[in-house]
Structure 1
Amino acid sequence: MADEEPPSEPITIGTSYTLETHGAERRVNVILPRDYEAGTREYPILLVLDGGMDQDLFLTLGLSRWNQLWGRSEAVIFVGIETVDRQRELLPPTSDLDEQTRYPSAGESTAFRAWLTETVVALLRENYRSDGRFILAGESAAGHFVAETWALHPDLFDGYAAISPSLQWSGQALATRFEQMDSRTRPPLYISLADEGGATEEGIERLVAKAGENLCFSDRREELVHANALHGLLPEALQFLLPT
């Protein structure tokens, strides 16, 4: 006689909202701190771009929880924002003909930013105990989106983490535009550089040179490449933006 199957139950880690923008449905995944339901404490909200179930949700959630375990950064309401067409949603228009050919749908970051702030942030404010702080994090194309938001619309969020941002985009247009802007106080920015090479490195260095003092620039060209920058540096970014 076979042994009875042991008791089992589904693993539930959070709540997933299905929203629509740019002509496609996508999930906004919300995972609460462990003690959220037990009290009335308010928490900062961390929004991670490319945070779908098949994207970076589990990796970045695990890194955030690992940080909290070691007292390295604060507990957060973790929000993974799924992207569908990353270049379309996360990048502005490009004047580079090769980029236009490779990514013909790219260029709608302004509309995606409006959806993120007007729909997603509004949903989170209404339904969760936020302490008022919203932190935006992203890597690669999402890192460009973070850096662009920080440079052009800094008051939308309270802290920014741009990991290996794709600042080569459109001939380093964001760095060029930022260099021509008047200096002003902006929220904290964590920005990192792995062994990216060429125009990406140059674009990041140009932006950093004018970014001011409210900045953590992590130069890891000797240690990391684009493929492992998120794994290695999100804990450091959270420590800078949400220190204990």
Structure 2
Amino acid sequence: MIGALAALLLASGQPAAVPEPEPIVVGETYTLEALGADRAVNVMLPSDYADQPDKSWPIVVQLDGGVDQDLLLGNGLEKWNRLWGRSQPAILVGIQTVDRQRELLPPTSLAGEREEYPAAGESEAFRTWLADAVLPLLRERYRDNGTMILLGESVAGHFVVETWLESPELFTGYAAISPSLQWDGQSLALTASAPVASRPPLYLSLADEGGETEQGMFALLGKLGQGQAYCFSDRRADLHHSNSLHALMPEALQYLLPTDADWLDEYGLGLRCDRGGPGPSAQ
């Protein structure tokens, strides 16, 4: 019928009407200043957020979350998890980074790293900005249920582990995907007190990084105490550093925001913890 109408219009010399496009709105953004630079704090709300004014939600804070960084990938993975019932629906907040090494890494004592990344070393200041400016904004503006997850990969993963060790009270769960634990001669892992226990649940993963990155991970794992809830996904045989975020963000959310879905194993979506114990309970 539509094809016949179009043919009739063309035969009469009148072009078929083309509707005006409408924007696809996927979120909202704030511009905040930190460490002397403006950066975006991008908020992706669940599609039914406005329709359920009495409902509250977990918040997932994703580092490197600019529009041109990992925001849209993370949003897609979170919504894909939701589609399968793999993790609880959440508000996703992407934190744009401008100079990742400067903002996400602590100082280093190694001359080679200082030469390659001369601005690195202000992770403590960036963490203070998150605590004092970003988290209060999110709690004031959005209906959170008290669950606040920090997630990052690579250099951002180092920041996640550092925050978990230094300021564990800031978030209720942490996910460090392929964290760059080789930084400063593995000092973050090597200087951690043992055993490390009684902190929020922690998801850790390792791809094929090898070398000091791998050594740092196992040094950290060796210090985790019996009372610590964590999940270590050992993916050295099947993942690269380049695709670990794509593959493992869904699993990290599954561990930290579990559901009671009983079909996940059947579809190849079972949680893989090669080391570690139980994490949060399904809500």
| TM-score under structure 2 length normalisation | 0.84
The residue type paired with residue 253 of structure 2 is L
Q: Which residue of 2 aligns with 1:225?
A: 240
**Counterparts of residues 177-188 of structure 1 (less than 5 Å):** 177-178=191-192, 180-181=193-194, 183-188=196-201
The residue type paired with residue 150 of structure 1 is W
Tell me the alpha carbon deviations over residues 21-65 of structure 1, each in whole angstroms, 9 at most, x when there is no partner: 011111000011111111110001100000000000011110010
1:5 aligns with 2:15: no
**SS state at 2:50 partner:** helix
Shift of 1:177: 1.4
1:175 aligns with 2:180: no
**Counterparts of residues 124-135 of structure 1 (less than 5 Å):** 124-135=138-149
The residue type paired with residue 185 of structure 2 is G
The residue type paired with residue 245 of structure 2 is L
The residue type paired with residue 195 of structure 1 is D
**Counterparts of residues 108-147 of structure 1 (less than 5 Å):** 108-147=122-161
**SS state at 1:78 partner:** strand
CA–CA distance in structure 1, aligned partners of residues 127 and 236 of structure 2? 30
| TM-score under structure 1 length normalisation | 0.97
Task: Decide whether the 8 Å contact of 2:197 with 2:224 is kept in 1.
Answer: no
Shift of 1:155: 1.2
Q: Which residue of 2 aligns with 1:44?
A: 58
Matched pairs, number: 243
Identity of matched residues, %: 60
**Structure 1 stretch 204-213 or stretch 153-162: which is displaced more?**
204-213
Shift of 1:5: 2.4
- Report the aligned-residue RMSD: 1.0
**SS state at 1:51 partner:** coil
Q: Which runs of 5+ in 1 are unaligned?
A: none
Shift of 1:6: 2.1
1:210 aligns with 2:223: yes
Shift of 1:117: 1.1
Q: Which residue of 2 aligns with 1:57?
A: 71
Tell me the alpha carbon deviations over residues 191-229 of structure 1, each in whole angstroms, 9 at most, x when there is no partner: 000000100000011101212341100000000010000
CA–CA distance in structure 2, aligned partners of residues 57 and 184 of structure 1? 31
CA–CA distance in structure 2, aligned partners of residues 190 and 2 of structure 1? 57
**SS state at 2:258 partner:** coil
Q: Which residue of 1 aligns with 2:83?
A: 69
Structure 1 stretches of 4+ with a deviation exceeding 6 A read none
Higher gyration radius (CA): 2
Q: Which runs of 5+ in 2 are unaligned?
A: 1-13, 260-283
Match 2:29 to one of 6, 10, 16:
16
